[in-house]
Amino acid sequence: MWKLKFGEGASNPLLRSSNGFLGRETWEFDPNGGSPEEHAVVERLRRDFTRNRFTQKDKHEVSNLKDSSEVTEEVLLTSLRRVLDQYSSLQAPDGYWPGGYSGILFILPLMNEDGGWSTHTLGPSSMFGSCVNYATLRLLGEVLDEHNDGLSKGRAWILSHGSATVAPQWAKIYLSVIGVYDWSGNNPIIPELWLLPHFLPIHPGRFWCFCRMVYMPMSYIYAKRFIGPITPTILALREELYDVPYNKINWNNARISCCKDDIIYPPSWFQNIAMASLHKFMEPLFNMWPMNKLRKRALTNLMDHIHYEDENSNYVGLCPINKVLNMICCWIENPNSNAFRRHLPRIHDFLWLAEDGMKSKVYVGSQCWDTALIVQAYCSTGLTQEFSETIKKAHDFIKNAQVTKNCPNYKRYYRERSKGGVVVIKDSTNPSRRSNSRTKVNKDGTLSSAESKRTTPWVEFINPSESFRNIIVDYPYVECTSSLIQALILFKGVHPGYRREEIDRIIKNGLVAAGRTFQNSLSIRKACNFLLSKQLSTGGWGEDYLGCQVEEYIDSGRPHVVHTAWGMLGLIYAGQVELDPAPLYRAAKELINMQLETGEFPQQEILGSFNSSLFFNYTNYRNLFPIWALGEFHRRLLAKRA
């Protein structure tokens, strides 16, 4: 039986933490744990998931309100208390809410109906997902024979779509590392790029942090042409993944080939010429004297940056991709090193167990982000006295998770100041935290995802990955900018004189938080009209995930609890309760009717996204946003009546 452990790690000499492992969650297997009844429940959940994995059913929904029923204040309070009682019971001892936070399939596999694997759990089969997941199963001991239907279908899909020779760039690199794809079939990832002057827009230090942190170890591994042990399984994979003998594959043709199912960002003609030149002329040159001296310097520089990232993240890394690649680099440098040994126990931080098996999280979690939103949701209900203990534990978690110091020598490693991150407004009277905090605001007052915007969008032309777009620049986002403006307005209320001119300049670009309303803002009126035009006849909202990929609204045709809550909140804050609450009553009724017997809300289509091409699950969204929407609606109705 598996058990979820919280905050553990102090007893392991290879693990370090700056906050006592606050928020750490790991699964531990106890072979003697669990009663027969508990084992039976687990097996039932597994069977249910397997049976229904290709369909989306909210089979535990109960009809709470009849069509003729009204959404009264009493009905709203009953619904809220049901979910708050259940949700509070799920709070971790540390004060946050644990969850899977997964969905990307080139980290761990999930089977598709046509035999292949996707890049993420929502999508159709891709060569990326199929190749790496097929290879993973073989390395884990699965055998290709007439009894293994999964592997047989997976191999058939790969071969029928062009074989592994048309895998996208990231898959080619992974396959090269294990020895089932020749390194000559890869486009160059030259480490010397890191030696360019930093003022150049194409210096990797100016890239979006996830891009540079992934391509940093990739370029090291590429330059080393590292290959793992060639075992009988690897030799078998060389036969299974291709439709011609391995020694007869034209690797130069494979280098510029990509399966059409994987192409989201097609390389330009300029990029093709540049890659061909690097492959044919520059890469051989860097491996000859005296240019190999420059290559050696570049690789030493990269390992310096990799060790810096590992040390300052306590070997967790920015995400599981760069964490694993950094670990491989440490192995290449010295397989017996302390750095490599410190990497191993941190693998457990990314693993999550659910009814669909063991998976990898996108990051080690979104504990601070989710908890901050959950606290706001609880506060919106007006029931803070009833759930004061839950809110206090959550507040303490956020307070104790605050970053209290900068990384050493951070500018040299292209990092930004981090001291003061995760601010609790009510605790901001502490001057040691307040005066040293700094938001990473762009020059135009917007906020990007992780750092300030460091380069220009035209640099995207060097994006080497066919499977992802918008990966070079850390673009500004509405969600991040809005959160910043709201936080600064709250902060200004506590400390009106602190950096007033700078804060006012950022706030003036806000909408509702900055005082704009339906009556005085064309932007808000247009937004409200858009939301109302997309409301379904049942009262809810539902958008297909592909809308993010094509960057236009695609109606899913069915209500989604989180989309419905978002639609409600947008209209509520714009003043819809005062103008005409009828659409909100219909939306609230939809939410209440989707509420489960437990009080929670159903897990539907996942809705986290980045790069307009990868989709993952914020597990807490399905509860926190309906709480927030129903709570805010109830509070506004009370205010209107008063």
Catalytic residues: 427
User: Long-range contact list for 301-307, CB < 8 A, 24+ apart?
Assistant: 301/191, 301/194, 301/195, 302/191, 302/194, 302/216, 302/217, 302/219, 302/220, 302/329, 303/220, 303/329, 303/333, 305/194, 305/216, 305/413, 306/216, 306/217, 306/220, 306/330, 307/339
Grouping H, G, I as helix, E, B as strand and the rest as coil, residue 441 is strand
- The set of residues, in sequence order, having a beta carbon less than 8 Å from that of 212 and lying 6+ positions away, is 204, 205, 414
Angle at which helices 73-89 and 621-641 cross, to 10°: 150
Q: CA Rg, the chain, in Å? A: 26
Copy the structure tokens of residue 510.
């806000």
**Whole-number Å distance between alpha carbons of 371 and 367:** 6
Mark 83-115 as b/e (b = at least 16 C-beta within 10 Å): bbeebbeebbebbbbbbbbbbbbbbbbbbbeeb
- Contact of 565 with 577, CB cutoff 8 Å: no
**Whole-number Å distance between alpha carbons of 116 and 127:** 8
Phi-psi region of 612 (alpha: psi -120 to 50; beta: other; left: phi over 0): left
Task: Say how far residue 505 (Cα) sits from the centre of its chain.
Answer: 31
**Whole-number Å distance between alpha carbons of 25 and 367:** 10
Q: What are phi and psi of 270, to 5 degrees?
A: -65, -40
- Contact of 615 with 607, CB cutoff 8 Å: yes
Copy the structure tokens of residue 303.
């390992």
- Contact of 535 with 599, CB cutoff 8 Å: no
- Contact of 511 with 524, CB cutoff 8 Å: yes
